[in-house]
Chain A
Amino acid sequence: MPIVLEKLTHIYQQGGPVATTAIEDIDLVIDDGELLALIGHTGSGKSTLAQHLNGLMKPTSGRVLLDGRDINAPGEDTRKLRFQVGLVFQYPEHQLFEETVYKDIAFGPRNMGLSNEEIDGRVRSAMDMVGLPFEEIKERSPFEVSGGQMRRIALAGVLAMRPRVLVLDEPTAGLDPRARDLLLKDIQRLHMEGTTVVMISHAMDDVARLATRIAVLEKGRLVMEGLPEVVFGRFEELTGMGLDVPQGCQLARRLRELGGPEIPDCYLLESLADSLAAFLKGGGGDAA
């Protein structure tokens, strides 16, 4: 049941004087259970691509297939589909509106037409998934909790719909390090429990920690795609596009320039540390 993008193209204000091509000819398969990181410079079309995954935006040409069915085909119920592909926007806390945390998280399930018991169960488990204490904050206003909690309430609002695929647009932007860490752990746990995750991010260290596969967009085109070690191995190309690389890779590169060892999997801090330790123990320390 993967999501398949076929020759996906979106042009804003087509035919108008300021027509801009946001994404062009994108072929991409999002497999079940993977955690795909979507990276690219600001304006590279990441968010536009994300909004095609649940039918919020219609492609100018090309198709989006979910379970082999074109989601934009006439007669498809896109509203039903949106419950399967949950989209969490940038700064999702800006969409909170209800009087209580409970009601806000219940908004999605309520729109699905579920029974009250079912909704209650889902709100509890969604809050549990993102580490929010149910009894403590369910009756509080979503506007009087901390920024990190607001972000997690918004995430719970999408999770309560139990989507099979979770699309996150820069989930950690603007969070302090602690809140960011907690949120990343939640995302990782969701992924481990079987949810397919698509995550847009500028933070390469986050990507290095979580992603099972990386897709790189530049100027609306898919320019690179593959396992993290492959993508982060193409250091020059990434920096050439104005993108960061994980700190581990930057360190490994500097060491190599100074005559140090070749370090595989430098994007993972653990393997970086292991390689370095092995190198130093092996007596190569003098060379560096």
Chain B
Amino acid sequence: MLRDITLGQYYPVDSPVHRLDPRTKILLTMLFIIAVFLASQLYLYVFILGFLSLSVYLSRLPARMIIRSIRPMRILLVFTFILNLFFGTGETALLRIGPVIIWQEGLLNALHFTLRLVFLVMGSSVLTLTTSPVTLTDGLETLASPLKVIKFPAHEMAMMMTIALRFIPTLVEEADKIMKAQTARGADFTSGNLMARARAMVPLLVPLFVSAFRRAGDLAMAMEARCYHGGEGRTRLHVLKIGRGDYIAYLAMAALYVLLLLPRWL
């Protein structure tokens, strides 16, 4: 039943990319996304593909996992392509089918937008596949901590995310158990119309919320018992460190930018 849900998509192997500092990976992913939009000519996507392939190769991820990551987007991709292809206007007509004209500019736009989306999704997948959710949260917290000056609660946000992630499997298990218990009392979660099904969720959701609140209370108590008092003056078990690998990664990204921007200057 619910137990089969896999959470997050972290792919736990050891690789140079997995070992990169999470801050590096977050920043590089952002830079990569900007880079994707910098490609002004179609041939420039070759460099982007090259960079992506290199990082996938180094991360020891199976290529099919990266390709599979665009699967949830497939409908959006097809729409993007078709809309741009048929509804763009331009100057050079490529093809005339009755009243429909396919313009060269439309085709170019369609290719650009579709490729950009594909790379965008694939690029961020490399981040989530090589970084465990907890490490990712750590990285986000450190990156966002300068925002504390404007009273942005970086530590609290990160702590909330970590706790939420930690408790998702617990709640899934709990939901599974309650579902079974109510099924044993003759509850039926799978048949009936939409209204009947929504009503059938009440015996599942009420106990689930009750237990979530109980757990939250217990956890808060346990954290306070261990003197948790927010992020102020808190030290870390795993201190994030920028290493040689990180510098190499930044250099590689710089190289990609040079390759992408060069045609504009020449």
Contact = CB atoms under 8 A, between A and B. Distances in A.
Interface of A: 13, 51, 54, 56, 79, 82-83, 86-87, 89, 92, 94-97, 107-108, 111-112, 143, 157-158, 161
B178 A82 contact: no
B192 interface: no
Interface in B1-38: 4
A23 B207 CA distance: 29
Given A51-B180, A89-B177, A94-B211, A157 B186 contact: no
Contacts of B177: 89, 94
B147 interface: no
Nearest to A16: B4
Contact of B185 (A94, A143, A158): A158
Interface of B: 4, 174, 177-178, 180-188, 202-203, 206-207, 210-211
A94 B188 contact: no
21 contacts: A51-B180, A56-B180, A56-B183, A79-B188, A82-B184, A87-B184, A89-B181, A89-B184, A92-B181, A94-B174, A94-B177, A95-B182, A95-B185, A95-B203, A96-B207, A97-B202, A97-B207, A107-B185, A108-B185, A111-B186, A157-B185
Contacts of A83: 186
A97 B188 contact: no
Given A107-B203, A143-B210, A54 B184 contact: yes
Contacts of A56: 180, 183-184
B207 A111 contact: no
B192 to A, nearest CB: 12
A82 B182 contact: no
Contacts, number: 58
Contacts of A158: 184-185
A111 B178 CA distance: 16
A77 to B, nearest CB: 11
B181 A95 contact: yes
B188 A95 contact: no
B200 to A, nearest CB: 10
B184 A86 contact: yes
B188 A111 contact: yes
B203 A97 contact: yes
Nearest to B202: A97
B186 A112 contact: yes
A133 B207 CA distance: 24
A257 to B, nearest CB: 44
Contacts of B206: 97
A57 B103 CA distance: 59
A14 to B, nearest CB: 12
A107 B174 CA distance: 20
B181 to A, nearest CB: 4
Contact of A111 (B174, B181, B185): B185
Of residues B181, B183, B188, B202, which shows the largest number of chain A Cβ atoms within 10 Å of its Cβ? B181
Of residues B178, B181, B185, B186, which shows the largest number of chain A Cβ atoms within 10 Å of its Cβ? B185
